[in-house]
Structure 1
Amino acid sequence: MELEQYIQRIEDKLHQLLKKLQQTQADNAMLREQLSLHQSELKEQEATIASLDEKLKLAKIATATQGNGLSEDEQAFRREVRGKINDYIREIDRCIAMLNS
């Protein structure tokens, strides 16, 4: 009789473990789905941030080129932009000179 009870307890524990396994697998699937959803939302937000950063940069450049009533930071940015433009023009001139040689 003891052996039958021992086997029955083992079977009960096995059933409990199987239920826990199924629940854990279901939870895991749900969490994976949520993770995928959050990752796609994060990518969308990163794309939005990049787009807004580009718009901000363009707005700063537009403001810097107008030049009226600029703050010190804006004036420094304007000088920086002009410097970069001048560097690009010099590089283009060098390339043209090399092509003409």
Structure 2
Amino acid sequence: MKRWMWIVFAVIIAVGVGSYSYTRYRLQEESYADEMRTGERALKNHDYSLAETSFTHASRTRASNATAQRYLTQTQTYVDGTQAMNNRKFSAAKQDFTTVKTTKHG
């Protein structure tokens, strides 16, 4: 009888831990997808600060994801190029914009 109780207890614990892990994974995936959509929408609307924030959150949500990090770096480089252009540092702006343009899968 005690053996069956331990088996039932172990199964309940395993199901609980598995359910928690899966739920946490799904929430993380949804958060990542929402942040990426928000960032892409912000880029289309030329709201670079929101895009940068969204891509930062997405890259923190999925630390091993290269896409979010690439979008973040590309957005930051574009903002740096725009600032260089406004400060009349044209060679730095050209270099930043060239980097943005030649980024693959960005």
The TM-score normalised by the length of structure 2 is 0.43
> Which structure has more helix as a fraction of its residues?
1
Work out which structure has the larger RCO, using CA pairs closer than 8 Å and 6 or more positions apart in sequence: 2
Please say which structure displays the higher CA radius of gyration: 1
